[in-house]
Amino acid sequence: MVIGKMDVGALRKALDRREISAVELTTYYLDRIAQLDPELNAFITVPRAEALRMAAAADRRIAAQEGVTALTGIPVAIKDNICTAGIRTTCGSRLLADFIPIYDATVVAKLKQAGAVLLGKTNLDEFAMGSATQYSFYGPTRNPWDRDRVAGGSSGGSAVAVAAGMAPLALGTDTGGSIRQPAAFCGVWGLKPTYGRVSRYGLVPYAPSFDQIGPLARNARDLFLLFRALAGHDPLDPTSLPAPAETGGDLSGSIRGLRVGLPREFFGAGLDAELKERVLTVAQVLAEAGCVLVELSLPSVAYALPAYYLLAYAEASSSMARYDGVRFGNRSGAEQGIVGMMTATRQGFGPEVKRRVLLGTYFLSADCYEEYYRPAQKVRAWLRQDFAAAYRRCDLLLTPTTAAPAFRFADEAGDERALALTEQCTVAANLTGDPALSFPCGRINHLPVGAQLIGPAGAEELLIRVAAVYAEKAPDDAMPEWTAPDVGEQIEV
Amino acid sequence: MWVSKLRYETVIGLEVHVELKTKAKLWCGCSTQFGAEPNTQVCPVCLGLPGGLPVLNRKAVELALTTGLALNCVLTADCRFDRKHYFYPDLPKGYQITQFYHPIGREGWLEVEFADGPRRVRIKEIHLEEEAGRTYHLPAGQDGGAASLLDYNRSGIPLLEIVTAPELSSPAEARLFLEELKAVLECLEVSDAKMEEGSFRCDANLSVRRPGEALGKRVELKNLNSFRALEAALAYEEERQRELLAQGEPLRHEEVRAWDEEKGITVYMREKERVADYRYFPEPEVPPLAIPAAWVQTLRRRLPELPMEKRRRYLEVYQLAAADAALLSRRKAEAAFFEATLRYYRGSAQNVANWILGELTRIMKEAKQSVADLRFSAEDLAALLQLQDQKVISGKIAKAVLEEMFRTGNKPAAIIEEHGWQQISDPGTIKTLVRETLAANPAAVEDYLGGKEKAFAFFVGDVMRKSKGRVNPELLNTILRAELGNYTAAGHSGGQGGHEAG
């Protein structure tokens, strides 16, 4: 039995049959983290003792056969901008280096209730502001497929933890593509659920009208399983959607006759030619499986990126206002009086956070509000209308997740345009609030790439079901190995 | 110079902050109870901890809507919030959630009885927002350097800001407006409206100008912690600005000044020349709350009679004295007791008002109790007044009975019975008492007959003393005069049987 090769369903069976204990399983992952993470830097905090305690509790539950769920005893990595009571939550920031929340985020409480094991807190760009997990105070996360390349971001730590087999499942957060883009760069599955489908209570906000927590996993079933454990109405989240009457299917329905839209704005100049081929191959496979391909246009998408920057940075400047050193987190300049202390404390933000706070502050200033903020809101409304119209012509949309595979660390600063193209594919779904899924669709040279499915609100199951059909029928070389190569030996148990 | 000063006009506008009376805070379930130990009524949301989310308390919206209806406002169709940014340690999130773009109510008015008659004062807007925490600055002392202490119990309590148009023309008018507003809020039961606990706070803006000219630069006054302080600070500021204008040195900049209670002056705080940029934008985490017409209609139906309406009714229906109508209409509990008493009482409404505003108020004040604490009912008070009207007891005895009712809660008839306080109205009994007195005091009778009217009072006093005040005073007067008349008619023939001789 090679744990690293088992999906969550197989792990469940092994746990239930007592072929392996949750403590053994957790120990396996903790050891693997100890072995690989010094180089990959996917984790900021690994509360080893705490994880083993939770695993032991899960073992007792399994032994007593009481309240065992699909996730009981299964380790899950959690992005470090999601609050965990008693376990420090840094948000990748120096300001929160010693911040230990007094409460669990709703998703964490749900995982604990299900008996999952909190394996560790994963690396991210400071406060999730970035697309490469290189703006973390705790150092950059490296791509396991090529250590000179970025993991993507901001949920780079979670994507790498799953891709390198350091965790079977992980939670990420997605504000402009922060789950999907690193999932694509690392060859794993990542879902941004419909805005409001998963509670944000306890998620440290970056741009709260965009932020959404979602799952990362190695295949469709694992992803769906974790999504179902997270989704649901939460009275503590004012933007939480009412619970759907039906929790959603089981990925088994037919996809025959489904209309798959190919919006031409996502396939234009700037898209890597080989990547374009890969995504069109996905379309081909789906057509062969009975889907109807629909070419269409979404003209609003051309304005999505500037609107996203304006609105998200404006919200970011507001979200960051509470870090003044008064009540929690690091405090500097306490001897300089109140204003001096607040100023000195806020000097502790990293360069990317400072840049976004400055820009966002400018966008919200009285002189700029009408010129920038209002038009951006109008673009957002237009995107929603544009997508709603598209959903009358098709059931879901197929696009690339990024414009190219993961870039080298050195590239990023010099190629803002490539980065912008990358984000252009993902931000639209954050502006509309629609669910969007990234799944692996092959490799370019040695680097994985991803395709994206976007659907109307509540279409998570449909998106995963369609991608699962592709994964099943895809050419052999299209799906990555169970994990990235060269990331340590597999231990047989 | 002072002559010309009289021609200046004063323009005053008020910004009133009212804590709404909800059990829970505006965005979380924490208690709003006043006076708890510092930082015991807090949670991740009202402490502004990362990841806390604001869930709107609909009760606060309901109280704001109710106030908006009473203030004749145009109500918003959906309740929206905005963020207002500034840095201060007692503002946990670095922004306050308020209503900037869409106040819950606009363009209202409140009618107030001013010295020259009733007038509507326009309300520019009312908007809902959250309280900040409280900062306590400690000076450097024996224990060490200066320090600031923060209490977040207040953080997130729902606050309604009420902004008037600049339409009040004197400090007295400002005070009358504020008193009327407080009465309205108390009547609606939307706020405790206690200035001393900070649940009712007022900032005032004042400027002076020559009639017909544009509004002058205004001064915002802070630290107005009582009605008296409001009036005094405005009066001081009005005089100060008139003086400046008269000297040809009008204010150049808008400024903020604080009222110094001890010195009785306003003190410069800061200039308002540079308008702070609060970077308002729509609160992204609180979805708009639709306010269906049916909800507003229900609240409108539930609106109580407002003080001004009540005053009108008391004047028209009960013909109360104007001052009493004004006083009673602003005291909800007393007014209710007044009307309840009238349901059982057949005498004059003014008599009931006199008793409630006079004797009863005095007793309650002495005992530091309110109408809610009374141990007797309105029906009991009616019975008491009825007994007085029927001359069963005198006014003086009635007061004693009321004290007993207040103390014991016993029925007035039982108290009178128990103490033997019934009034003596039987002419025969009174006549006997009078004759005893006259017979026992022949010298005084001589005096009286000799023209000393004072002696009459002596006889009355003597009879009352003997009867413990129970003799019907009118009857006593009549009978005493008649008896003394007999003496006159009969010459100095002695007291007894004098009337028979007549």
Do B249 and B332 belong to one domain?
no
- Name the nearest CA neighbour of A103 among B170, B260, B51: B51
Residue A294's H or E segment, with its range, is strand A292-296
CB contact under 8 A, B279 and A237: no
Specify the amino acid at residue B166: P
Dist. CA A6–CA A4, nearest whole Å:
6
pLDDT of the residue at B252: 79
Do B251 and B312 belong to one domain?
no
Share of chain B above pLDDT 70, in %: 95
Evaluate whether residue B64 is within a structural domain: yes
Residues 6+ apart with CB under 8 A from B327: B357
Dist. CA A82–CA A182, nearest whole Å:
18
What integer is the mean pLDDT of B180-196?
92
Dist. CA A59–CA A65, nearest whole Å:
9
Contact B158, B57 (CB under 8 A): yes
A-proximal residues of B, 122-181, CB under 8 Å = 148, 150
Do B415 and B434 belong to one domain?
no
Specify the amino acid at residue A233: H
Q: Which residue has the tokens 């983290």?
A: A33
Q: What is the dihedral of CA B405, B411, B414, B419, to 10 degrees?
A: 10
| Domain region containing B317 | 305-419
Do B133 and B208 belong to one domain?
yes
Dist. CA A493–CA A31, nearest whole Å:
13
Do B277 and B381 belong to one domain?
no
Nearest CA in chain A to B280: A364
pLDDT tens string B440-473: 888 888 888 888 888 888 888 888 888 877 888 8
Evaluate whether residue B299 is within a structural domain: no
Rounded to the nearest integer, the mean pLDDT of chain B is 88
Q: Which residue has the tokens 């990595």?
A: A77
Evaluate whether residue A321 is within a structural domain: no
CB contact under 8 A, A365 and B277: yes
Contact A159, A217 (CB under 8 A): no
pLDDT tens string B354-397: 999 999 999 999 989 889 999 999 999 988 898 888 877 878 88
CB contact under 8 A, A102 and B279: no
DSSP annotation of A336: G
Nearest CA in chain A to B89: A326
CB contact under 8 A, A102 and B49: yes
Residues 6+ apart with CB under 8 A from A65: none
- Name the nearest CA neighbour of A185 among A214, A154, A225, A224: A154
Q: Which residues of B126-160 are buried (b: 16+ CB within 10 A; e: fewer)?
A: bbbbbbbbeeeeeeeeeeeeeeeebbbbbbbbbbb
Specify the amino acid at residue A26: T
Which class for A420: exposed (0-12), middle (13-18), buried (19 or more C-beta within 10 A)? middle
- Looking at B419, B450, B483, the residue that finishes a domain is B419
Dist. CA A354–CA A366, nearest whole Å:
20
Dist. CA A421–CA A265, nearest whole Å:
11
Residue B123 bridge partners (DSSP):
B108, B164
From the CB of residue B355, how many other CB atoms can be counted at a distance below 10 Å?
A: 21
CB contact under 8 A, B89 and A201: no
Cα-based distances in Å from A162 to A119, A220, B257, B409, B455: 12, 13, 61, 78, 113
Do B34 and B183 belong to one domain?
yes
Comparing CB atoms, the residue among A327, A338, A364 nearest residue B48 is A327
Q: Measured between alpha carbons, how far apart are the two ends of chain B, in Å?
A: 79
CB contact under 8 A, A238 and B55: yes
Q: What is the CATH number of the domain that holds B483?
A: 1.10.10.410
Q: Report chain A residues whose CB lies below 8 A from the CB of B55.
A: 235-238
Do B69 and B180 belong to one domain?
yes
Shortest distance between the Cα of B52 and any Cα of chain A, in A, equals 6
From the CB of residue B95, how many other CB atoms can be counted at a distance below 10 Å?
A: 25
Evaluate whether residue A72 is within a structural domain: yes
Comparing CB atoms, the residue among B50, B85, B287 nearest residue A318 is B85
- Looking at B268, B294, B320, the residue that finishes a domain is B294
Q: What is the CATH number of the domain that holds A247?
A: 3.90.1300.10
Dist. CA B334–CA B310, nearest whole Å:
12
3-state secondary structure of B289: strand
| DSSP code string of A423-477 | HHHHHHHHHH---EEEEEEEEETTEEEEEEEE-STT-HHHHHHHHHHHHHHS-TT
Dist. CA B232–CA B221, nearest whole Å:
11
pLDDT of the residue at A364: 94
Answering whether pTM is above 0.90, one says no
CB contact under 8 A, A238 and B89: no
CB contact under 8 A, A202 and B51: yes
- The dihedral built from the CA positions of residue B249, B250, B255 and B259, taken in this order, carries a sign that is positive
Contact A398, A261 (CB under 8 A): yes
Sheet holding A117-122, edge to edge: A43-45, A117-122, A75-79, A169-173, A213-217, A189-192, A436-444, A447-454, A396-400, A259-263, A292-296
Pairing of strands A189-192, A213-217: antiparallel
Tokens of A365: 């200033």
Cα-based distances in Å from B228 to A246, A324, B112, B175, B198: 63, 39, 18, 8, 15
How many residues make up chain B in this entry?
Answer: 502
Decide if B29 touches A, using CB distance below 8 A. Answer: no
3-state secondary structure of A261: strand
Band (B3; pLDDT cuts 50, 70, 90): very low
| Domain region containing A151 | 3-256+431-473
Tokens of B122: 């326009």
Contact B50, A99 (CB under 8 A): yes
* Radius of gyration over every alpha carbon of chain B, rounded to an integer in angstroms: 32
Tokens of B432: 């006997």
Evaluate whether residue B147 is within a structural domain: yes
Dist. CA A189–CA A220, nearest whole Å:
7
3-state secondary structure of A268: coil
Which class for A254: exposed (0-12), middle (13-18), buried (19 or more C-beta within 10 A)? exposed
Q: How many domains does chain A have?
A: 1
Do B373 and B474 belong to one domain?
no
DSSP annotation of B306: P
Do B332 and B267 belong to one domain?
no
Evaluate whether residue B275 is within a structural domain: yes
Decide if A370 touches B, using CB distance below 8 A. Answer: no
Tokens of B7: 């021609």
pLDDT of the residue at A488: 53
Do B164 and B278 belong to one domain?
yes
Evaluate whether residue B246 is within a structural domain: yes
Dist. CA A403–CA A381, nearest whole Å:
25
B-proximal residues of A, 309-328, CB under 8 Å = 314-315, 317-318, 320-324, 326-328
Residue B266 bridge partners (DSSP):
B259
Evaluate whether residue B300 is within a structural domain: no
Residues 6+ apart with CB under 8 A from A189: A183, A216, A217, A218, A219, A220, A222, A223, A437, A438, A439, A440, A467
Q: How many domains does chain B have?
A: 3
3-state secondary structure of B444: helix
Evaluate whether residue A153 is within a structural domain: yes
Q: Which residue has the tokens 């349901």?
A: B343
Do B157 and B217 belong to one domain?
yes
Suggest the residue from B43, B87, B91, B151 to mutate for an interface test with chain A (most A CBs closer than 10 A): B87
- Looking at B294, B319, B353, the residue that finishes a domain is B294
pLDDT of the residue at B120: 95
What integer is the mean pLDDT of B280-308?
95
Active site residues of A: 79, 154, 178
- Name the nearest CA neighbour of A148 among A408, A458, A491: A408
Contact B480, B444 (CB under 8 A): no
Evaluate whether residue B84 is within a structural domain: yes
Nearest CA in chain B to A104: B51
Comparing CB atoms, the residue among A203, A317, A320 nearest residue B51 is A203
pLDDT of the residue at A4: 79
> At residue B477, does pLDDT exceed 80?
yes
What integer is the mean pLDDT of B75-79?
94
CB contact under 8 A, B50 and A315: no
From the CB of residue A402, how many other CB atoms can be counted at a distance below 10 Å?
A: 33
Suggest the residue from B87, B136, B151, B279 to mutate for an interface test with chain A (most A CBs closer than 10 A): B279
Decide if A96 touches B, using CB distance below 8 A. Answer: yes
3-state secondary structure of A320: helix
- Name the nearest CA neighbour of A106 among A1, A239, A7: A239
Evaluate whether residue A277 is within a structural domain: no
pLDDT of the residue at B496: 47
pLDDT of the residue at B274: 66
ipTM exceeding 0.95, yes/no = no
Contact B128, B75 (CB under 8 A): no
Tokens of B95: 């922004």
**Where are the extended beta strands (E) located within B139-182?**
147-151, 158-164
pLDDT of chain A along its 493 residues, tens only? 678 778 999 999 999 999 999 999 999 999 999 999 999 999 999 999 999 999 999 999 999 999 999 999 999 999 999 999 999 999 999 999 999 999 999 999 999 999 999 999 999 999 999 989 999 999 999 999 999 999 998 999 999 999 999 999 999 999 999 999 999 999 999 999 999 999 999 999 999 999 999 999 999 999 999 999 999 999 999 999 998 756 567 888 889 999 999 999 999 878 999 999 999 999 999 999 999 999 999 999 999 999 999 999 999 999 999 999 998 888 888 888 888 999 999 999 999 999 999 999 999 998 888 999 999 999 999 999 999 999 999 999 999 999 999 988 865 554 566 666 678 899 999 999 999 999 999 999 889 999 999 999 999 999 999 999 999 988 666 555 555 555 555 555 5
pLDDT of the residue at B454: 85
Do B231 and B315 belong to one domain?
no
> At residue B283, does pLDDT exceed 60?
yes
Evaluate whether residue B458 is within a structural domain: yes
Residue B95's H or E segment, with its range, is strand B95-98
